DNA sequence: CGCTTATTTGATCTTGATCAATGGTAGTGG
DNA sequence: CCACTACCATTGATCAAGATCAAATAAGCG
């Protein structure tokens, strides 16, 4: 069920659960490389990995679960910037060697690889084969954020909720039930909607037979 | 008045108008390196640099003027994704060696440096000092797009228009008049608003004394 | 079981879109 | 220089999507 981690580094030389679950490239994870057990971080729900303005020291690759990036405005409003799922990167601004400008927090129980920015920088400096892969990664991220922007700009409430449900369903097919890992409130914050609207849209889709809903169990029909 | 180009390459060895206007790093621009006159491209208003789905061959750095990235949806609606101004990059997806997934078009008369993706890739492979600078660039781009997302998600019409006006005013101070380089319609498309709304907001700000408006001449008060 | 947190549903309100009409401005060619 | 034209900007009236306010369940969970 785990997705491969998109990474910018070479295959791990020794046993590593991350690689063993099918990834092409390994991340230079402090835990992975120093430890034969490849002890990634396991996070409980609601655990923050870092807060806005924290000194930016590490980059994270999500192995399992969902995190979210948020930013707080001067007036206290919180905006969820994006959902970070399996195989995606968080905190790349650490490579700029300054403070994080977003907060990153686990929404579900999650497993992440933690890589120090220093390690990444060293690797970029010394390994000829890595920079292009890293650049490719970042451009893919850029693509993803633009995609979100496109969504927020043009899609109405129902389209956005459908897109989110599709993403959260992963590779679950039609007719197969899956469990929503997020609450209506969390979904609404990520989509820039009110939670009541998310609820109404989901009920509406159910009434029209697009999906079947049993609490947090959803089936596409 | 020109902004420095953010670039990932070393200082130009010989005379180059781009560098001479104060940039730290030069872009490996086909025109610049092959030609002592450093003949960047000059674009007329409304000139497209590339269209969606075109083979992605070049990366562009804006020297002067404003361009916009757009994407067309299946139903024909066009979404403006972002404004690309002096010092910023467009078309970085060319490094992925596939097709452009956005269109890039000049909104005003503009000057850009054109760099072949091949050149950039070669430089990343062979020059030890460049990758980190390039990665830094991309992360800054990522930051900018997230910023847009933040805007679109949390700001209301007036806040968005104000943010755009602030950006377009550049380093013009309070009390100094500047000329809007974009029409109300173009602004509205970039902000995801109706052009009537942009007009109303601008008039409203003028009525309340925040700005002074004379057609496309604007003064912050 | 009792408490907290999620979810659903209804009623009403606000923002900004849309429709429609008019006035301005800049560029073009005579 | 002026008239013509095409685009740009403003303003008003109305409408709709979704936010907000309010309240009643439902679902977890110690």
State how far the alpha carbon of B95 is from the alpha carbons of A166, B50, B51, B98, in Å.
29, 15, 16, 8
If one compares A69 and A16, the residue with the highest pLDDT of the two is: A69
Residue B118 pLDDT more than 70?
yes
CA of A184, closest CA in chain B: separation in Å? Answer: 17
Q: What is the DSSP letter of B23?
A: -
pLDDT score for B137: 75
**CA of B70 vs C1' of C15, distance in Å?**
26
- Judge if the beta carbon of A75 is closer than 7 A to nucleic acid strand D: no
Q: Is the CB of B195 under 7 A from strand D?
A: yes
Instruction: Give how far Cα A51 sits from Cα of A56, B112, B126, Å.
Output: 9, 38, 37
Contacts of B92 in chain A (CB under 8 A): 139, 142
Separation between the CA of B154 and the C1’ of C13 (whole angstroms): 20
* pTM of the predicted structure, to 2 decimals: 0.80
Q: Report B:5-64 residues touching A (Cβ under 8 A).
A: none
pLDDT in tens, A138-161: 777 788 788 777 777 788 999 999
Q: CB of A140 within 8 Å of any CB in chain B?
A: yes
Instruction: Check residue B34 and give its pLDDT.
Output: 46
pLDDT class for B123, splitting at 50, 70, 90?
A: confident
Closest Cα in chain A, distance from residue B93 (Å): 6
Q: Which of A20-24, A146-150, B106-110 has the highest mean pLDDT?
A: B106-110
Q: Which residues, listed in sequence order, are joined to residue A50 by a DSSP beta bridge?
A: A104
Q: Write the CB contacts of A42 (distance below 8 Å, at least 6 apart in sequence).
A: A109, A110, A111
Q: What is the dihedral of CA A170, A49, A145, A94, to 10 degrees?
A: -140
Confidence of residue B23 (pLDDT cuts 50, 70, 90): very low
C-alpha A102: how far from chain center: 14
**Higher confidence at residue B104 or residue B4?**
B104
> Which chain C nucleotides are covered by protein, judged by CB under 7 A?
6-11, 15-20, 24-26
Cross-chain Cβ contact B135/A95 below 8 Å: yes
Residue-level pLDDT at B20:
34
**Which one has a higher pLDDT value, A170 or B37?**
A170
Look at residues A109, A133, A191 and name the one whose alpha carbon lies nearest to residue A5: A133
A156 at interface of B, judged by CB pairs closer than 8 A: no
Least confident of A78-87, B14-23, B199-208: B14-23
Q: Is the CB of A26 under 7 A from strand C?
A: no
Cβ within 8 Å, pair A153-B79: yes
Torsion B69-B139-A127-A31 (CA) sign = negative
Q: Within 13 Å of residue B123, how many CA atoms lie on the same side as its CB?
A: 23
Tokens 């989110």, residue? A164
Q: How far apart are CA A62 and CA A158, in angstroms?
A: 28
Pair type for strands A89-90 and A41-43: unpaired
Q: Which of A97-111, A146-160, B113-127 has the lowest mean pLDDT?
A: B113-127
Which of A134, A139, A148 faces B149 most closely, judged by CB atoms?
A: A148
CB proximity B128 to A under 8 Å: yes
pLDDT average, residue stretch A94-107: 87
Is the CA virtual torsion B191, B192, B194, B195 positive or negative? Answer: positive
How far is the alpha carbon of A102 from chain B, nearest alpha carbon, in Å?
10
pLDDT value at position B14? 35
Cross-chain Cβ contact A125/B131 below 8 Å? yes
**Distance between CA atoms of A187 and A83, rounded to whole angstroms?**
9
Q: Strand B110-116 to strand A211-214: parallel, antiparallel, or no bridges (unpaired)?
A: unpaired
B32-69 residue pLDDT tens: 544 443 347 888 888 899 999 999 988 888 888 899 99
- Hey, is the C-beta of B78 within 8 angstroms of any chain A C-beta? no
In chain A, the residue whose alpha carbon lies closest to the alpha carbon of B139 is A93
The span from the CA of B98 to the CA of B93, in Å, is 8
CB B107 within 8 A of CB B181: yes
Q: Do the Cβ atoms of B83 and B42 come closer than 8 Å?
A: no
Residues of A in contact with B150 (CB under 8 A): 71, 79, 81
pLDDT of residue A19: 37
DSSP 8-state symbol, B12: P
Q: Kindly identify which residue of chain B lies nearest to residue A101, measuring between CA atoms.
A: B143
Cα nearest neighbour of B75 on chain A: A154
CA distance B38 to B128: 25
CB contact under 8 A, B138 and A135: yes
Exposed / middle / buried, residue A175 (Cβ in 10 Å: 0-12, 13-18, 19+): exposed
């Amino acid at each position: 069920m785990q997705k491969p981690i998109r990474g910018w580094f070479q295959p791990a030389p020794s046993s590593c659960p991350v690689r063993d679950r099918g990834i092409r490239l390994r991340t230079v994870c402090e835990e992975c490389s120093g430890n034969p057990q490849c002890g990634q971080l396991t996070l409980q729900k609601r655990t923050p990995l870092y807060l806005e303005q924290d000194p930016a020291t590490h980059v994270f690759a999500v192995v399992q679960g969902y995190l979210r990036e948020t930013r707080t405005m001067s007036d206290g409003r919180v905006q969820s910037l994006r959902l970070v799922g399996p195989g995606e990167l968080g905190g790349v601004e650490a490579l700029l060697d300054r403070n994080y400008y977003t907060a990153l927090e686990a929404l579900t129980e999650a497993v992440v690889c933690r890589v120090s920015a220093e390690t990444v920088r060293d690797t970029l400096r010394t390994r000829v084969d890595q920079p292009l892969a890293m650049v490719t990664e970042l451009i893919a991220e850029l693509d993803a954020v633009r995609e979100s922007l496109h969504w927020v700009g043009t899609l109405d409430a129902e389209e956005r909720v459908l897109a989110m449900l599709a993403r959260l369903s992963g590779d679950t097919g039609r007719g197969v039930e899956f469990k929503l890992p997020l609450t209506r409130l969390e979904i609404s914050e990520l989509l820039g909607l009110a939670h009541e609207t998310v609820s109404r849209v989901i009920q509406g889709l159910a009434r029209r037979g697009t999906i079947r809903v049993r609490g947090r169990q959803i089936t596409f029909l």
